[in-house]
C-alpha cells in the first residue's frame, strides 16, 4: 500500500481534469476531439473576449502555437477543434452537468473569500463635470462573516487604491480569495 498517497491531502482537480467529467452528449461516431479540449478552448476564448462563433475561430487561429503547447499531443491527433466543432459541442452539452463540474473547481468555502470595493457617497459629479473631491467608503466584506473592515476616503481614486492596499495588509488574508475592481490591478513601479 502506498502510504505517501494516503497521507497526502486530496487536491481539487484543475479545470481541465474537471472538464473531462462532463457528460458528452455528442454521438461517438465521427467525434474527433475530446470534450474537455473543446470546452477548455471555448472557455479560454470567452475569457479572452471572443464570444461569437466566428471570433472563437479567430482566437484559435491567433493562439494556435500556444494551444498546441498546452494540450497533450495525444488529445490533438486531429488538430485543434474548429468553430463548428465548438458550436456543435456547446449545443449538446448538458448545462447543469457543466455547471456542477465547474462549481466543484471554483467553489470557495464560506469565509474564504473577501470582497473589497469602494463606493462614492457624495458629490461625484456636478453639472455633468466630474468633481474629484468626493468621499468614498471602502468596505471589505467576508462571505459568511460580514464586514471585516471599513474606511472612509476623501479625494481621488488613487486614495482608494492606497486605502485598499492598507486594508489588505492589515487583515491576515493568506489563503483567501479576493475580489476587487480592475482599478486595483496596479503594477508596482
Q: What's the pLDDT tens digit per position in 77-95?
A: 889 999 999 998 888 888 8
Q: Which residue has the higher pLDDT, 180 or 186?
A: 180
User: Beta strand pairing status for 177-179 and 113-122?
Assistant: parallel
Q: Which residue has the higher pLDDT, 165 or 5?
A: 165
State the chain's maximal CA–CA distance in angstroms.
75
Q: How far apart are CA 178 and CA 154, in angstroms?
A: 24
Structural domain boundaries in the chain: 15-106, 113-184
Q: How far apart are CA 38 and CA 85, in angstroms?
A: 8
Tell me what pLDDT residue 9 has: 44
Range of lowest pLDDT (2-6, 56-60, 105-109, 181-185): 2-6
Tell me what pLDDT residue 73 has: 87
Q: How far apart are CA 70 and CA 17, in angstroms?
A: 13
Name the percent of the chain lying above pLDDT 70: 79
pTM of whole model > 0.75? no
Tell me what pLDDT residue 39 has: 93
Please report where in the chains the cell 469565509 appears, as a residue: 111
Element holding 140 (H helix, E strand): strand 135-142
Tell me what pLDDT residue 127 has: 60
Tell me what pLDDT residue 4 has: 37
Q: How far apart are CA 17 and CA 101, in angstroms?
A: 10
Q: Which residue has the higher pLDDT, 130 or 58?
A: 58
Please, which contacts does 46-55 make with residues 24 or more away whose CB atoms are closer than 8 Å? 53/83, 53/84, 53/86, 53/87, 54/83
Tell me what pLDDT residue 156 has: 62
Amino acid at each position: 500500500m502506498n502510504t505517501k498517497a494516503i497521507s497526502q491531502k486530496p487536491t481539487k482537480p484543475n479545470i481541465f481534469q474537471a472538464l473531462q467529467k462532463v457528460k458528452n452528449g455528442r454521438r461517438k461516431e465521427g467525434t474527433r476531439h475530446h470534450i474537455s479540449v473543446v470546452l477548455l478552448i471555448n472557455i479560454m476564448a470567452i475569457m479572452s473576449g471572443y464570444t461569437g462563433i466566428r471570433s472563437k475561430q479567430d482566437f484559435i487561429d491567433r493562439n494556435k502555437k500556444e494551444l498546441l503547447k498546452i494540450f497533450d499531443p495525444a488529445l490533438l491527433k486531429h488538430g485543434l477543434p474548429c468553430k463548428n466543432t465548438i458550436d456543435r459541442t456547446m449545443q449538446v452539452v448538458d448545462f447543469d452537468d457543466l455547471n456542477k463540474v465547474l462549481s466543484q473547481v471554483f467553489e470557495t468555502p464560506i469565509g474564504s473569500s473577501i470582497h473589497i470595493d469602494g463606493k462614492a457617497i457624495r458629490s461625484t459629479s456636478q453639472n455633468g463635470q466630474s468633481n474629484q473631491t468626493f468621499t468614498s467608503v471602502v468596505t471589505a466584506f467576508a462571505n459568511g462573516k460580514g464586514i471585516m473592515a471599513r474606511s472612509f476616503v476623501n479625494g481621488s481614486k488613487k486614495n482608494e487604491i492606497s486605502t485598499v492596499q492598507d486594508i489588505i495588509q492589515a487583515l491576515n488574508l493568506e489563503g483567501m480569495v479576493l475580489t476587487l475592481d480592475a482599478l486595483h490591478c496596479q503594477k508596482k513601479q
